A and B are shown apart, each in its own frame.
Chain A
Amino acid sequence: MKFRTLATVLAAAALAAAMSACGSSGSSSSTGTSTGKSSGPAGSTLTIADVAPFTGPDAALGPTYLATCYGATTAINSAGGVLGHKLACKTVDTRGDPADAVPAVRQLFATTSSLALVIGCTSDEAAAVVPIINSQKMAMFCMTGQSEFDHVVFPYFYRLVPPDLEESYAMVAIAQELHYKRIALAFGNDIGSQTFIQPAIGALKKAGITLTTNQTLDLKASTFRTEAEAIIQSHPDAIMTEALGNADPTLFAEIKQLNGGKMIPIVATSAAISPPFFKAAAAAVGASTFASDFRADNLVTESSGPAYQAFSTALLAEQGKVPGATGNFTTYLSAPGGVHLYDGINLAALAMIMSNSTSPSVYAPDMIKIGNGVPGATVVYSFAQGAAALKAGKTIRYEGPGGPTSFDSFHDSTGIFQVDTYSASGAVNVVGNLTADQLRALSG
């Protein structure tokens, strides 16, 4: 019996491996049924779909965007909604895997007649789902820095975050500012993290910084002791990293243990600015230890002024209401997805009013007009202000907490970078800015 089943067992092992790779897709909704791809009848609720990982290694991303979606839509609804419609958010769990993302997105379109906008679409799944969303003529604000979107035209694709290579340069610029001479790389084996490596290696070379070791972290692995020891043995001044889920916190804990209780300074990507990441890293090595030598690049976002006030009021009103949101909720005020997707939702909602249509093929071009502005346009800092100005017959330029928008012909709008740190309580502090010249000096 045992030997006869050996083949069965090996097949089972393969199945188990396949299962771990595939998982399953799942989505939960707050609104929407039946088919279609544009708006429902007047007075109905329009849906904004948060297409992102809610489970798996990058599970922190989905709730971050959802918090923003809740905040933005509640504020829009309080200001009267859009053309008689209220807005609501819907989650679509991609599990951070294209194999799960594609059927989940297809299901979204098959079951949501009231869909008006897609947000999320991270680097984990963007390459697979952007063409599908685009073919459905649905506007999307994606949180991907993948360079393949830098010069390919997807008419319905919009991006308020920088290409990954610019973020790689930003990390190296931080290392330069801190006078680090030796850097170790530790990036996850997912698509979103791997895209940073080659630009970072090139920029390190240009900056005259020695690359001590380049470790790839399997996000499904349970320990990284050997990788941690290899990093320690290479004697870096700092580690540049993006490995979400359990990987980075586990790596940090093992480095601290193997390095005589001392952490090595960390320079992370903007993805590390999220409450779940801080919570996991702080639990792994201690909050004060983690916060003492941690920096991350982040797109410049406002921390005061009318746009920030409207944003923080809208977001903080959702504290305790967002499924999956953990940790210090105020960190979402600095999370890159939080800020820029808030702007994206407001741009879309204002464009709907301006074009008098909830159909993306009609309203999407107006997002560019409102974002980039025209001479003489009234600058507005919130949806409520913008809606009132449009009602008064004015042309507007929206400037949200993510700062001014400047879409190029590929619908990319990227800003300049700031340097963030954490306090021991998990609050995010801005400790510096990186200039365009600094990044240019490290490019190409």
Chain B
Amino acid sequence: MTVFLASIGFGLVTAAVLAIASVGFTLQFGVTDVLNLAYGAIMIAGAFIAYAVNQAGTSVWLGLVVAVAACSAGSVLLNSGVYAPFQRRGTSPITMVIVSLGMTLIIEFSVEAIAGGTGVSYTMGQGRTFHVGGLILSTLQLVIIALSLVTMAGVHSLLRYTRLGKAMRATAANKNLARNCGIRTGRVITITWALTGGLCGLAGVVFAMDSGSFDPTATDVFLVLILAAVFLGGPGQAYGAMLGAAVIGIATEVSAAFIHADYKYVVAFVVLLVMLGVRPTGLLGARA
């Protein structure tokens, strides 16, 4: 029972990190139509940017801000320099996936060439550890959960209450119709790359904080978890991604506690496959 409750707490932390990453990924995919598999590589690039700032003797939280800005700008450049030209030529979705895989390797190995292949850690403390009703969480983990909740609330407010959010939803639903309604979809897409790139940078830094030790390939498996959370919730659905992240995060940790750690990703993907079998559009996806 103790391990079960503790694993729920651990699952919440994993879900918090996963939610930030998944929401950014799914918004990006929903609005831009690009399945950007380089997302994980940009995450780790952001983590190393924060590391460089941290190593310069400043707070990792300042590094987080720099990483968010850098990943935001980097994502806009990635789209305008790589993805958009391919899209303008009418490149097929599967080819775009291959392009993004290529970008993954380019970014990941560039980071590796610069930072080296070995693991690094931020210079920061975990803070006090709290034991509450079987949950065991450090101050840092509580901050990560809080950061995730604030981010989710921010995304909700953006999509629900702002003109930009409505324009993003309209563009995601039907780009041509949105354009015919006077929405400048090109600008919306550029802003979406900037916003989701920022979320990607944020996700990379909290991922690295949570991991304790990370290297340039650390997000390889995490990207697969992001995809699982996104498609469990329904591709392009921000709220679905939040829900998917919670399910995947908790399922992996609880299964590690009760079956065996070897099976934690197996269980997560069995959940995903069963879900897609029952409801192919995901938990919150529109019915076909």
**Cβ of A19 and Cβ of B33 under 8 Å apart?**
no
A249 and B262 in contact (CB under 8 A), knowing A20-B224, A227-B256, A326-B118? no
Q: Which residue of B lies closest to A60 (CB)?
A: B118
Bitwise, A1-40 to B at CB < 8 A (1) or not (0) is: 1110110111111011101100110100000000000000
A59 contacts chain B at the CB level, 8 A cutoff:
yes
B165 contacts chain A at the CB level, 8 A cutoff:
no
A253 contacts chain B at the CB level, 8 A cutoff:
yes
**Cβ of A249 and Cβ of B235 under 8 Å apart?**
no
Q: Which residue of B lies closest to A222 (CB)?
A: B211
A235 CB, min distance to chain B CBs, angstroms: 12
B239 contacts chain A at the CB level, 8 A cutoff:
no
The 4 closest A-B pairs by CB, nearest first: A20-B220, A59-B117, A55-B117, A283-B121
Bitwise, A324-362 to B at CB < 8 A (1) or not (0) is: 101000000000000000000000000000000000000
A residues less than 8 Å from B199 (CB atoms): none
A23–B105 alpha-carbon span in the complex (Å): 8
Stretch at the interface among A141-149, A257-265, A292-300: A257-265
Q: Which residue of B lies closest to A96 (CB)?
A: B117
Q: Which residue of B lies closest to A55 (CB)?
A: B117
**Cβ of A216 and Cβ of B262 under 8 Å apart?**
yes
B159 CB, min distance to chain A CBs, angstroms: 17
The answer, among A54, A246, A257, A276, for a CB contact under 8 Å with B218, is A246
Bitwise, B254-288 to A at CB < 8 A (1) or not (0) is: 00110011101100000000000000110001001
**Cβ of B261 and Cβ of A246 under 8 Å apart?**
no
A250 contacts chain B at the CB level, 8 A cutoff:
yes
The answer, among A16, A218, A229, for a CB contact under 8 Å with B7, is A229
A3–B288 alpha-carbon span in the complex (Å): 8
What is A's interface to B at a CB cutoff of 8 Å?
Answer: 1-3, 5-6, 8-13, 15-17, 19-20, 23-24, 26, 53-57, 59-60, 189, 215-218, 220-227, 229-230, 233, 245-246, 249-250, 253-254, 257-258, 260-261, 276, 279-280, 283-284, 324, 326
B116 CB, min distance to chain A CBs, angstroms: 6
B101 contacts chain A at the CB level, 8 A cutoff:
yes
B189 contacts chain A at the CB level, 8 A cutoff:
no
A9 and B35 in contact (CB under 8 A), knowing A16-B227, A245-B215? yes
A224–B118 alpha-carbon span in the complex (Å): 19
**Cβ of B13 and Cβ of A225 under 8 Å apart?**
yes
**Cβ of B213 and Cβ of A276 under 8 Å apart?**
no
B residues less than 8 Å from A261 (CB atoms): 129
**Cβ of B33 and Cβ of A1 under 8 Å apart?**
yes
**Cβ of B35 and Cβ of A12 under 8 Å apart?**
yes
A343–B123 alpha-carbon span in the complex (Å): 38
The answer, among A8, A59, A189, A216, for a CB contact under 8 Å with B97, is A8
A23–B101 alpha-carbon span in the complex (Å): 11
The answer, among B227, B256, B265, for a CB contact under 8 Å with A226, is B256
**Cβ of B104 and Cβ of A19 under 8 Å apart?**
yes
Q: Which residue of B lies closest to A225 (CB)?
A: B10
B residues less than 8 Å from A11 (CB atoms): 94, 97
B residues less than 8 Å from A20 (CB atoms): 217, 220-221, 223-224
A101 CB, min distance to chain B CBs, angstroms: 15
Q: Most chain-B Cβ atoms within 10 A of its Cβ — which of A8, A11, A225, A253?
A: A225
The answer, among B2, B35, B213, B280, for a CB contact under 8 Å with A246, is B213
A residues less than 8 Å from B262 (CB atoms): 189, 216, 218
A residues less than 8 Å from B285 (CB atoms): 2
Taking A224-B261, A261-B129 as given, write out 19 further A-B residue pairs in contact, using a Cβ cutoff of 8 Å, ordered by the A residue number.
Answer: A3-B281, A10-B231, A16-B227, A20-B224, A55-B217, A189-B262, A216-B261, A218-B261, A218-B262, A220-B218, A222-B207, A223-B14, A225-B10, A226-B3, A226-B257, A227-B261, A229-B6, A229-B7, A257-B138
Interface positions of B from 200 to 244, Cβ below 8 Å from A: 207, 210-224, 227-228, 231, 235-236
**Cβ of A250 and Cβ of B97 under 8 Å apart?**
no
**Cβ of B94 and Cβ of A2 under 8 Å apart?**
no
A residues less than 8 Å from B97 (CB atoms): 8-9, 11-12, 15
The answer, among B30, B119, B136, for a CB contact under 8 Å with A280, is B119
A88–B259 alpha-carbon span in the complex (Å): 51
A249–B213 alpha-carbon span in the complex (Å): 7
A residues less than 8 Å from B260 (CB atoms): 216
A44–B104 alpha-carbon span in the complex (Å): 40
Interface positions of B from 1 to 49, Cβ below 8 Å from A: 2-3, 6-7, 10, 13-14, 30, 33, 35, 37, 40
**Cβ of A6 and Cβ of B35 under 8 Å apart?**
no
B66 contacts chain A at the CB level, 8 A cutoff:
no
**Cβ of A6 and Cβ of B280 under 8 Å apart?**
yes
A242 CB, min distance to chain B CBs, angstroms: 15
- Would you give 21 A-B contacts (Cβ < 8 Å), ordered by A? A3-B281, A8-B35, A8-B94, A13-B224, A13-B228, A15-B97, A19-B104, A54-B117, A59-B116, A59-B118, A223-B212, A224-B261, A225-B253, A226-B253, A226-B257, A229-B10, A230-B256, A245-B119, A280-B213, A283-B121, A324-B117
A residues less than 8 Å from B281 (CB atoms): 3
B120 contacts chain A at the CB level, 8 A cutoff:
yes
B residues less than 8 Å from A246 (CB atoms): 119, 211-215, 218
The answer, among A3, A258, A284, for a CB contact under 8 Å with B213, is A284
A165 CB, min distance to chain B CBs, angstroms: 22
Q: Most chain-B Cβ atoms within 10 A of its Cβ — which of A56, A57, A229, A284?
A: A229
Q: Which residue of A lies closest to B141 (CB)?
A: A257
A15–B102 alpha-carbon span in the complex (Å): 11
A185 CB, min distance to chain B CBs, angstroms: 12
**Cβ of A280 and Cβ of B118 under 8 Å apart?**
yes
B residues less than 8 Å from A283 (CB atoms): 120-121, 123, 213
A223–B219 alpha-carbon span in the complex (Å): 12
**Cβ of A223 and Cβ of B210 under 8 Å apart?**
yes
A226 and B231 in contact (CB under 8 A), knowing A19-B220, A60-B118? no
B residues less than 8 Å from A56 (CB atoms): 117, 217
A245–B117 alpha-carbon span in the complex (Å): 9
B residues less than 8 Å from A16 (CB atoms): 37, 40, 101, 104, 220, 223-224, 227
B residues less than 8 Å from A15 (CB atoms): 37, 97, 101
